[in-house]
């Protein structure tokens, strides 16, 4: 069974706009909204990168590499005209079982438009055999840490 790539809406919330370069780029914004699509580049058995100390869960089974690619829409009606435009980030991810067979543990570390992050979360099975036989649809979430100054995430320091 295949796992669908997902479209990601990334909202990075700035805690304050500090520093001259950020202030010039985003004079009055307190959030950055990007619509990107993840494109899986590879899936391999989990390596040492997916150890429990880093991921927060035991028994990681798979390790993926993704590109985040810009999704371009037509301004007049929002129709997607290019779903795999230029890459603006990447994700190194680990997946493993949880106590619930419908939920997969998820760890990821990457960048999006130059902003580095790491996170722990999960992927929840939402539909089987959709949109066609053999496909699984998941909703995935990461609780982000390790964001650079000026962004809000989990307040605890990143240790993974």
SS (H, E, C) the chain: CEECCCEEEEEEEECCCCCHHHHHHCCCCCEEEEEEEEEEEEEEECCHHHCHHHHCCCCCCEEEEEEEEECEECCCCCCEEECCCCEEEEEEEEEEECCCCCEEEEEEEEEECCEEEEEEEEEEEEEECCCCCCEEEEEEEEEEECCCCCECCCCCCCCC
Query: For residue 31, what pLDDT is reported?
Result: 76
Q: Where are the domains of the chain?
A: 2-145
Which residue ranges of the chain lie beneath pLDDT 50?
1-9, 15-24, 155-160
Query: For residue 25, what pLDDT is reported?
Result: 55
């Amino acid at each position: 069974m295949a796992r669908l790539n997902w479209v990601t809406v990334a909202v990075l919330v700035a805690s304050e706009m500090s520093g001259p370069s950020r202030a010039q780029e985003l004079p009055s914004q307190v959030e950055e909204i990007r619509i990107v699509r993840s494109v899986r580049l590879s899936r391999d058995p989990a390596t040492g990168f997916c150890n429990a100390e880093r991921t927060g869960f035991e028994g990681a089974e798979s390790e993926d590499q993704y590109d985040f690619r810009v999704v371009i829409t037509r301004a007049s009606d929002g129709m997607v005209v290019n779903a795999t435009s230029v890459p603006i980030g990447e994700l190194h991810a680990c997946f493993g079982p949880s106590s619930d067979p419908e939920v997969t543990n998820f760890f990821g570390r990457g960048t999006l438009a130059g902003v580095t992050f790491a996170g722990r979360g999960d992927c929840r099975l939402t539909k089987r055999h959709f949109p066609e036989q053999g496909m699984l649809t998941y909703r995935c979430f990461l609780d982000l840490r390790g964001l650079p100054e000026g962004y809000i995430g989990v307040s605890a320091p990143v240790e993974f």
